[in-house]
């Protein structure tokens, strides 16, 4: 790139990491968060199934059928969305690269393990394997064949392909996956352990996107202290929102599952906002002029995306909406009437959608408003 001149500081130009990379970072975070959500929902369901003491503490009631069902749905949504997210994110990343095909040879090509880009690539690979397996085990198998729910759309789609394909419908892809799923599904304890590993990979996946950025010491906005924390919170939050948006679509808006997850998400968002506030304050008070310029840019050049998109639409408004809806859900009988149900369902759906939008815009702004520490010009 060529540098831009003009002032007593020698400002360096922006490197082109924009929508595609923002999408990749966002989907990476969402994928990780969705998997964690899925795992947690699976845990809740299994607690209900075993009627354990832990379940009694966490859930108050273990016999709520609707709750169990929506946990199952959430677990499935979380897993399939995590796979879809990471897949689309991967495509977004590859289409940004100058040599995407070459990048696919990463197992031999990416030799620098000191680079977060290399570490992250392997995290993504391992995560995708675990998430895909989870998706397989939750969506396929003889037990699942009898279940219903919108989250099972992969079965439906594959089923349609089976009916169109030249092979026998009974012995098609769905049958194959069901068989494989049953054969490979580990027993409950082991499955739980795998979920733990998957969960750890998820958090690593989310955190890696921030580690990648904050390894760049010349960009004050990409701060090693604040950014990983913010991204982790945001990733989990968007993951919850993605999975539960699915659950809402499946009709589970008025379940305890949704209610609880929604409030959890709100708590996360509040902490996230505080963290963002601390970051902004850090930038404003920094002696690095690039940090000051970034702070100004967040409210000026990128005011629409940051204030309007991230702070209001993406976090503030969703929390306010969520509290309203959850209150109405829990403490009133609005949810008893048909129009009330539609209202609440719509409210939840809107909240989750806004959080997702906010999550993308947060990554976008963090890329676009990034400014490198300038060089001082001699003599001025």
Q: Given the complex with another protein, which of 117 and 194 has the nearer CB atom?
A: 117
Q: Given the complex with another protein, which of 98 and 187 has the nearer CB atom?
A: 98
**DSSP letter assigned to residue 312:** I
Please give the residue ranges that form the binding site for another protein (CB under 8 A). Answer: 1-10, 12-13, 15-17, 96-100, 102-103, 106, 109-112, 114-118, 121, 212, 215-220, 286-288, 370, 372-380
Q: Residue 266's CB: how many other CB atoms inside 10 A?
A: 22
Q: Given the complex with another protein, which of 75 and 291 has the nearer CB atom?
A: 291
In whole angstroms, the minimum distance from the beta carbon of 12 to another protein comes to 4
Rounded Cα gap, residues 358 and 238, in angstroms? 9
Q: Which residues pair with 374 in a beta bridge?
A: none
Q: Report long-range pairs for 288-294 (Cβ below 8 Å, ≥24 apart).
A: 288/220, 288/373, 289/9, 289/373, 289/374, 290/219, 290/220, 290/371, 290/372, 290/373, 290/374, 291/220, 291/221, 293/371, 294/220, 294/221, 294/369, 294/370, 294/371
Q: Given the complex with another protein, which of 1 and 164 has the nearer CB atom?
A: 1
In whole angstroms, the minimum distance from the beta carbon of 365 to another protein comes to 16
Contact call for residues 356 and 238 (beta carbons, < 8 A): yes
Computed on alpha carbons and rounded to an integer, the radius of gyration of the chain in Å comes to 23
In whole angstroms, the minimum distance from the beta carbon of 344 to another protein comes to 44
Q: Given the complex with another protein, which of 99 and 196 has the nearer CB atom?
A: 99
In whole angstroms, the minimum distance from the beta carbon of 95 to another protein comes to 11
In whole angstroms, the minimum distance from the beta carbon of 99 to another protein comes to 5
């Amino acid at each position: 790139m060529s540098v831009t001149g003009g002032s007593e500081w020698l400002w360096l130009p922006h490197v082109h990491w924009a929508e595609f990379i923002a999408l990749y970072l966002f989907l990476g975070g969402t994928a990780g968060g969705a998997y964690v959500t899925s795992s947690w929902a699976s845990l809740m369901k299994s607690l209900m199934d075993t009627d354990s003491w832990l379940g009694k503490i966490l859930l108050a009631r273990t016999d709520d059928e609707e709750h169990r069902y929506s946990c199952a749905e959430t677990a499935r949504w979380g897993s399939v969305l995590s796979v879809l997210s990471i897949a689309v994110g991967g495509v977004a990343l590859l289409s940004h690269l100058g040599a995407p095909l070459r990048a696919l040879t990463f197992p031999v090509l990416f030799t620098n393990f000191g680079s977060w880009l290399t570490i992250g690539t392997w995290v993504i690979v391992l995560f995708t394997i675990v998430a895909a397996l989870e998706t397989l085990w939750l969506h396929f198998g003889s037990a699942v064949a009898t279940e219903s729910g919108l989250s099972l759309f992969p079965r439906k789609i594959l089923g349609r392909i089976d009916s169109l394909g030249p092979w026998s419908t009974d012995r098609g892809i769905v049958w194959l996956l069901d068989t494989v799923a049953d054969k490979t599904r580990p027993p409950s304890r082991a499955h739980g352990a795998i979920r733990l590993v998957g969960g750890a990979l998820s958090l690593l996946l989310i955190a890696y996107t921030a580690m990648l950025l904050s390894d760049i010491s010349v960009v004050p906005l990409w701060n090693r202290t604040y950014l990983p924390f913010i991204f982790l919170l945001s990733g989990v939050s968007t993951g919850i929102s993605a999975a539960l948006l699915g659950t809402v679509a499946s009709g589970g808006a008025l379940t305890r599952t949704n209610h609880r997850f929604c409030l959890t998400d709100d708590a996360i968002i509040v902490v996230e906002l505080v963290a963002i506030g601390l970051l902004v304050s850090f930038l404003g008070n920094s002696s690095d002029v690039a940090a000051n310029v970034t702070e100004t840019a967040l409210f000026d050049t990128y005011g629409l995306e940051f204030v309007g998109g991230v702070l209001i639409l993406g976090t503030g408004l969703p929390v306010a909406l969520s509290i309203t809806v959850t209150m109405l859900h829990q403490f009133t009988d609005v949810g008893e009437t048909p129009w009330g149900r539609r209202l609440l369902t719509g409210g939840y759906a809107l909240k989750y959608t806004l959080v997702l939008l906010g999550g993308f815009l947060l990554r976008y702004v963090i890329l676009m408003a990034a400014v490198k520490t300038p060089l001082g010009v001699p003599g001025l």
